[in-house]
Amino acid sequence: MISEQTPLVSSPGKHEDVYKRFKPAKKRVIVTLVSVTGLLALFVSGTFVPSIPQIAKDLDSTGPIVSLAVSLSILASSFGSLIGASYSSFYGRKPIYLVGTPLLFVGSVGVAASNTIVQLMVWRFVQALGASPGLAVGSGVIGDIYKLEERGQALGIFFGAVLLGPALAPLAGGLAAHYFSWRLMQLALGFVGLVIFVFALLVFPETYHPGERGVDKVDHAELPTWRPVFVNPLRPLLLLRSPNLMAVVHPHWLCCGCSILMSEQTLAGFTTLLTEFVLLIPLAYTIGVRYNITNEAIIGACFLPVGLGNMIGAPLAGRLSDRIVVKCRKERGGEWYPEDRLKGTLLGAGVMVPLSALGCGFLTTYVPGKIGLALNLVCLFVNGLGVDFVLSPSAAYFVDLMHSRSAESMAANNGFRSILMSLSIAAILPMIEAYGVLFTNTVSVALTWGGFGLLWFTIRYGNRLRAVVDVGFSTADNN
């Protein structure tokens, strides 16, 4: 068991040979495929939001009711992420892609054909379930093929590509809704899912380390190959017993119309990401109404600054976190302290995210005209940049700390966070209608600063927190 006095000393070992299985060109192909799959998952959610007013009109409903489909899809993503990650640890990464993409196709066709709110909700759940493994399993794949000192940059590139979704998806969804139909966009997503299935079948190799999958360790005399194995999809949540993982994943406060105490820890990633959802989900009803924007395509274009900030911030933050790890390791004489990587999150969580969210609330409330709109777009860009200064190093930290169960740790992160996010999103529009944009943004900022405090605490007392509960942390010799 790791104790407070146990140093995580680095010594290059034979375990690094496993990262030489694939040549650099092959690794780039793998990263491209998992990035496109992760990007598709964000397109599933991002193309839907600008279409909410049109969908509400088409299905004879209201914006707040249709926005529940966003909450439901996030809930489905959390379950799908847990299921996909758990089975990827047993059967490997490739089978998850071969099951998820056909499910995405079926769900997309169902959404496109929906004629009632109930049908929409059901098929959105199926669609999101199929898309959900993209981020968690994709992060696991990156951990499979890149060693510790290269992992932050590789994950940054992965997230940078994936986060083209927030930049392009709302614009694509808005264009489709305004000039064609929101249903056409859903059919297009299903078609792309089929294309990815073909590439995963023919090009994607199994990246899980040889002999480490659960199926490789099973006595096949007792387990016939034809019998499917049940893997508990909730097992990754047990990793949250660790205060280190809880501190980066678990929430302290949750906004559901008001702030209510949820647990003894603060979810830094949740509180950071919540500000982005608070800004984007009601965009058509905040910036759209304030500046008289009714064209869905233009509403979609207003999402571009956030996506651009995400796209720039992810690889930049990943590369910065790698440099911090190398620098701090050298200063300690080769000793690896995993929480060093989290130092790269403090600027985003403490300054960029909260101040940009406050700025959007103030500008939308008090500054009219083109100046107000332009400054809002600047704040959205800074918010997107800051969010990934938190999420990208945090993702690399999870893979570092739980390398042998990297996909599961990411799924526990994304899954638990998504469950809470789905509840929060359902409250955003009602809260804005009741209390206003500035008040709602201020509440989300207060939560973000709480997350910043917990990140600092984790960096400062990482060794002590890891000594509380050992959930099988990686060391420098097996990372």
Q: Which of 103-112, 375-384, 420-429 has the lowest mean pLDDT?
A: 420-429
Residue 74 exposure: Cα atoms within 13 Å on the Cβ side: 25
pLDDT at 355 over 90: yes
| Residue 268 banded pLDDT, cuts 50, 70, 90 | low
pLDDT, residue 307, reads 78
| Residue 454 banded pLDDT, cuts 50, 70, 90 | confident
With contact defined as beta carbons under 8 Å apart, do 384 and 336 qualify?
no
pLDDT, tens only, 4-37 = 443 444 444 555 677 778 888 888 888 888 888 8
With contact defined as beta carbons under 8 Å apart, do 173 and 314 qualify?
no
- Whole-model pTM above 0.85? no
Q: What is the mean pLDDT of the chain?
A: 75
Integer Rg of the chain from CA: 22
> What mean pLDDT do residues 44-65 have?
75
> What mean pLDDT do residues 417-426 have?
67
pLDDT at 478 over 60: no
pLDDT, tens only, 331-350 = 887 787 888 888 888 888 88
pLDDT, residue 261, reads 25
pLDDT, residue 9, reads 43
pLDDT, residue 10, reads 44
pLDDT, tens only, 189-210 = 999 999 999 998 888 888 877 7
pLDDT, residue 80, reads 81
Residues 6+ away with beta carbon under 8 Å from 309: 380, 381, 382, 383, 384, 385, 386, 387, 388
Q: Structure tokens of 189?
A: 């997503």
Nearest of 236, 237, 238, 218 to residue 228 by alpha carbon: 218
Q: Structure tokens of 129?
A: 């379930």
Q: How many CB atoms lie within 10 A of CB 206?
A: 14
Q: Contacts from 380-383 at CB under 8 Å and sequence distance 24+?
A: 380/279, 380/302, 380/303, 380/305, 380/306, 380/309, 380/356, 381/305, 381/306, 381/308, 381/309, 382/309, 382/352, 382/355, 382/356, 383/275, 383/276, 383/279, 383/306, 383/309, 383/352, 383/353, 383/356, 383/357
> What mean pLDDT do residues 386-396 have?
82
| Residue 409 banded pLDDT, cuts 50, 70, 90 | low
Q: Structure tokens of 20?
A: 């030489």
> What mean pLDDT do residues 157-175 have?
74
> What mean pLDDT do residues 365-390 have?
89
pLDDT, residue 476, reads 59
The domain made up of 23-208+236-468 has a fold known as Growth Hormone; Chain: A; (1.20.1250)
pLDDT, residue 255, reads 33
pLDDT at 250 over 90: no
> What mean pLDDT do residues 416-423 have?
65
* Percent of all residues in the chain with a pLDDT value above 70, rounded to a whole number: 74
